[in-house]
Structure formats: C-alpha cells, structure tokens
Amino acid sequence: MPDAPAPQTATASSGPLTGLRVVEFAGIGPGPFACMMLADMGADVITFDRLNANKNQKSATGRGRRIVELDLKDEAARGRVLDLLEHADALIEGFRPGVMERLGLGPDAVHARNPRLVYGRMTGWGQHGPLAQAAGHDINYISVTGALAAIGPAERPVPPLNLVGDFGGGALYLVVGVLAALLEARQSGKGQVVDAAMCDGAASLMTMFFDFMAAGRWADGRESNFIDGGAHFYGVYECACGHFISIGSIEPQFYALLRQRAGLSDPAFDAQMDREAWPALKQKLAAIFKSKTREEWCNIMEGTDICFAPVLSLSEAPLHPHMAARHTFVERHGTIQPAPAPRFSRTPSVIRETAKSDIVDIIKAWRAGT
C-alpha cells in the first residue's frame, strides 16, 4: 500500500488553495469532511474545539488542521476568535440556527470586523423554515427530498449510508458554495453567508430523476426503473462463492457484449427494454451468475465494455489493482484511508498533519501575512 505524500512543511506548499485561510468551528459529519477537502487542497484550516476535547489527531476526516481548544462562552476567548477572523477568508460552522449569534459570532458580528469573509453555514434543514430548529440526521434530510423513497428494494427504502445527505448533499455543496462566494468576494470586496442545507443539496442531487419523471421515463416506485434495480441489465448479482458482482449494461452495444460473455442466447433476452419482461429476466440472469464464482466472472468480464465490476468490501477495495495503481487509498498512521480527491496536475493535494496550536501565535502569523 503506497504511503501518502509527505506532510507540508513550513517552507513548502502544495494544493490549489494554498494561501486560503479557513476557520472551522468543530462539529460532526459534513462540516469536518468539507474542511478535510479544503485542507487537502492546501487551505490553512484552523479548528476551534471545546476545552479538553482531545480529538483523535490521526483521524482521516480531521486531517490537515491546526486545532485550538478554547471556551467560546468566555468573553476573552471570543475576542481572540474575532481577532483571528479579521484575517480569515472563510468561516465554516455546523450549529443549529442562532447558536453562533448567541455566542456573539454570527455573520453580522464577524462581517463588522471582516467584510470580505465568506460565512459557510452547514445544517440539515437550513437557516429558516418550519423544521430549522428540529434535530435530525442524514436519513431524515433525504427523506423529504424523494431520494430515500427511490433507493432500495420494492419492499422498503434502504438508507444509502450517510452519503447522500451528509457528504453528497451537505459537504460537497458547502465546498462549492464557499469557493464560489470566495471568487465573487475577490470581485466585489464583500463576503456573504452560504446557507448549505443537506435537504437542499440532496434535492439538487435528484435533478435528473425529476427530469425523468417530467418526461414520463421514471416510475415513482422502487425497482421499477432502469437504474434502480428494476432492470435485469443494471444491478447486483450473487455468485457461487457468496460474493457479488455489479453490471450496468444499459447501452445496446454493452448489452450485446454482456449476452455474448455470459452466454445469454435465450431469445427472451432480446426484450432488453420491455419492463414487463424484467422480473423474469432478472431471475434467469441471477441463476446464470450464481453458476460461477466472483473471481471467475472477473476473469470473463472485467476490463470489457460490459460495464462490470466486482462488489468489494471496505477491506478489499484498497487491494483492487485499479485502486492500487492510482493510489486511491493510502496508509497513514498505520491505517488505510482514501487519498485526497480530485487530482491536480500542477498543484497536487497532500495530506497534512493535524496538531494543537496556540491562537495567539496564529493571530500573529496571519497578521504578518505568513
């Protein structure tokens, strides 16, 4: 397993966001993930956490930060935070609406000290609306968007981990929003608030499916459509060994190759896009795939235009030849973790170390422009 790139040193920098100063207020889920991405891409991320938090400094999602522990209820500590924010480019917080305002660190107070700052707010329900103050988790935020109802077998929805709300609809939209606002601030000289709500982001991720619905190409029910497990040519199948494989042979030429390699000579398979035929064809295909092991099917299909891949576990994924060749996973502090993404040809991202720091030293350095 390849090691990660060497940590950034005081005299070397890398990543397209080198020079960007971000202040993070510690949270869980999408906020830390967003800041991990920014840190990987070169941003100087300072994380404020509570006293004696003692967070794991080897955490993958917490990587690349300088951590400052303090009591935000202390007036002197809040004053130092504002002193630091005066020299920051962006702030990221993930509290319920109103918490930062009660601490005296809301957008109005911060913008009074630093009008150019981009204020990123990460929540589940958003800064306003009937549910804004309600507790929730990823599963709840994607429930109201149509996303959860569309995922899983016909019998009931299945939570897609917390990928759709927390990370896809949350962290990634927060990163895009903050970077877009930073670009605009360079032109206008003015910062703004980025209201990144997981329910908004998850709804946005569903855009293509609302398009399909409007065009009459999508049935409002699970396992009823060509990419939700309803079709025989797009799904997951068990092999003789108990492992699984995935196929996505949508296009006619890919479907033809699937038939050739899997020996699907039965004329019934001619009706690829006949929805009424899909259940029976799924049963036929399931029996065929159950006749060989996953390794045997990999030898027959992997690397072809069938649109095929083995379904790998978390422990298996880093060992796959393609993942290994691209160094998609790296070993860091004795554990395996995903490497930074995306990749940059001239200013590559690196994994930086996380360490506790003193806020006074950081303020002095930022004031001096270092």
Residue 75 tokens, joined: 């007036």
* Dihedral over alpha carbons 35, 61, 364, 104 (to 10 degrees): 60
* Residues 134-192: tens digit of each pLDDT: 999 999 999 999 999 999 999 999 999 999 999 999 999 999 999 999 999 999 999 99
What is the structure's pLDDT at 154?
96
What is the structure's pLDDT at 63?
96
* Dihedral over alpha carbons 119, 349, 365, 194 (to 10 degrees): 0
* Residues 220-279: tens digit of each pLDDT: 999 999 999 999 999 999 999 999 999 999 999 999 999 999 999 999 999 999 999 999
Going by pLDDT thresholds of 50, 70 and 90, the confidence category of residue 1 is very low
Instruction: Please give the CATH topology (third level) of the domain spanning 21-207+328-367.
Output: Rossmann fold (3.40.50)
Residue scoring higher pLDDT (368 or 370): 368
Domain 234-323 - what CATH class?
A: alpha beta
Residues of the chain with CATH 3.40.50.10540: 21-207+328-367
User: How is the beta sheet containing 308-311 ordered, strand by strand?
Assistant: 234-238, 244-248, 308-311
Residues of the chain with CATH 3.30.1540.10: 234-323
Average per-residue pLDDT in the chain?
95
Percent of the chain past pLDDT 70, that is, above it, reads 97
Residue 62 tokens, joined: 């917490």
Percent of the chain past pLDDT 90, that is, above it, reads 94
Contact 290, 342 (CB under 8 A): no
Going by pLDDT thresholds of 50, 70 and 90, the confidence category of residue 52 is confident
* Residues 184-222: tens digit of each pLDDT: 999 999 999 999 999 999 999 999 999 999 999 999 999
What is the structure's pLDDT at 56?
80
pTM of the prediction? 0.94
What is the structure's pLDDT at 10?
34
In SS3 terms, the chain reads as: CCECCCCCCCCCCCCCCCCCEEEEECCCCHHHHHHHHHHHCCCEEEEEECCCCCCCCCCCCCCCEEEEECCCCCHHHHHHHHHHHCCCCEEEECCCCCHHHHCCCCHHHHHHHCCCCEEEEEECCCCCCCCCCCCCCHHHHHHCCCCHHHCCCCCCCCCCCCHHHHHHHHHHHHHHHHHHHHHHHHHHCCCCEEEEEHHHHHHHHCHHHHHHHHCCCCCCCCCCCCCCCCCCCEEEEECCCCCEEEEECCCHHHHHHHHHHHCCCCHHHHCCCCHHHHHHHHHHHHHHHCCCCHHHHHHHHCCCCCCEEEECCCCCHHHCHHHHHCCCEEEECCEEEECCCCCCCCCCCCCCCCEECCHHHHHHHHHCCC
Residue 202 tokens, joined: 């998850």
- The neighbour count for residue 351, using CB atoms within 10 Å, is 23
Is it the case that residue 4 has pLDDT exceeding 80? no
Q: Which residues are catalytic?
A: 137, 166
